[in-house]
Amino acid sequence: MSGTLQPAATYASYLKIDELLSLQHPRSDEHDEMLFIIIHQVYELWFKELLHEVDRVMRLLEQDESHRAQHTLKRILTILKVMVAQLDILETMTPLEFLSFRVRLDAASGFQSDQFRQIEFALGVKSEQAIHRFAEPSRARAALEHRYHAPTLWDAFLQYLAREGYDVPAACLRRDTTAAVEASPEIQEILIDLHHRDVKNAELCERLVDLDEGIQEWRYRHAKMVERTIGAKPGTGGSSGAAYLRETVGRPLFPDLWAIRSRL
């Protein structure tokens, strides 16, 4: 074998522990700011992992590997549960503890998380406006541009259903993938039929509903946490705060999968 010999990995070198532990820089002397920084950094790491797994689900559906796609969806759901549960930790911070350093955040806000927008884009919640909030050129801007034009998980699912023999309308298969996922009566008919006679794919639908519900659960819990921490004050990111967040709660990712429930 040729090539340079790599030094044997250690825990610290493999995981870049020194680099990781050097990335927390509170802007105040307030005790709780460390928790605030670490929890956001942990979320960004989970966002990275979620994107990695959502991309895998799409590839597996493209390869008609529905069993493995379901397995990966289960992992995504487990991560989402952990992500929602982590909000409990932040809720141990009282409004006054947060206010002790809030002013030091300037305009910084989760609103500016490009990875959160990437997750939304991959799951079909697309907004051209969201892309323009990120400077050009930057990693964030390039990633969002790419995901904005790429098909969503719902598109991968519809293409998969067509290959499974379902009569998915051509207009749905060729839809503008930069547009929001709209409810479709034709798709709903297909899904109702599928639920009655195709256990394998009905299970897959249930995992997609789990994912949809999991994202809604995060939005709800985050909105409530914001409300109990800053009440009706505007957000540091420039929105109306809790009122804006409440509007995003309860909007399904995959409206057809919800619409059929009352007709099953």
Q: Is 258 in the site for ligand HEM (CB under 6 A)?
A: no
Q: Can you tell me which of 148, 166, 220, 244 binds ligand HEM, judged by CB under 6 A?
A: 244
Q: Is 236 in the site for ligand HEM (CB under 6 A)?
A: yes
Q: Can you tell me which of 98, 166, 220, 258 binds ligand HEM, judged by CB under 6 A?
A: 98
Residue number with CB closer to ligand HEM (161 or 223): 223
Report residue 90 as tokens.
């932040």
Q: Is 118 in the site for ligand HEM (CB under 6 A)?
A: no
∠ CA 124-210-226, rounded to 5°: 75
Query: Distance (Å, rounded) from C-alpha 250 to C-alpha 215?
Result: 9
Q: Is 100 in the site for ligand HEM (CB under 6 A)?
A: no
Q: Is 237 in the site for ligand HEM (CB under 6 A)?
A: yes
Report residue 111 as tokens.
């609103």
Q: Is 239 in the site for ligand HEM (CB under 6 A)?
A: yes
Q: Which stretch binds ligand HEM (CB under 6 A): 3-11, 165-173, 195-203, 237-245?
A: 237-245
Report residue 2 as tokens.
């040729």
Query: Distance (Å, rounded) from C-alpha 133 to C-alpha 121?
Result: 15
The secondary structure of 94-129, three-state, reads CHHHHHHHHHHHCCCCHHHCHHHHHHHHHCCCCCHH
Q: Can you tell me which of 211, 229, 256, 257 binds ligand HEM, judged by CB under 6 A?
A: 229
Q: The tokens 């500016």 sit on which residue? A: 112
Residues 122-151, interacting with ligand HEM (CB under 6 A):
none
Q: Is 110 in the site for ligand HEM (CB under 6 A)?
A: yes
Query: Distance (Å, rounded) from C-alpha 53 to C-alpha 48?
Result: 9
Shortest separation between residue 53's beta carbon and ligand HEM, angstroms:
17
Q: Which stretch binds ligand HEM (CB under 6 A): 72-80, 181-189, 205-213, 239-247?
A: 239-247
Q: The tokens 């907004």 sit on which residue? A: 127
- Helix (H), strand (E) at residue 202: helix 199-230
- CB-based contacts of 93: which residues, under 8 Å, 6+ apart? 32, 35, 36, 229
Residue number with CB closer to ligand HEM (69 or 140): 140
Q: Can you tell me which of 127, 177, 188, 248 binds ligand HEM, judged by CB under 6 A?
A: 248
Residue number with CB closer to ligand HEM (116 or 220): 116
Shortest separation between residue 82's beta carbon and ligand HEM, angstroms:
13
Half-sphere exposure of residue 126: CA atoms within 13 angstroms, side-chain side: 21
Report residue 145 as tokens.
């541009």
Q: Which residues would be at the binding site for ligand HEM (CB under 6 A)?
A: 39-40, 43, 90, 98, 109-111, 113, 116, 222, 225-226, 229-230, 235-239, 241, 244-245, 248
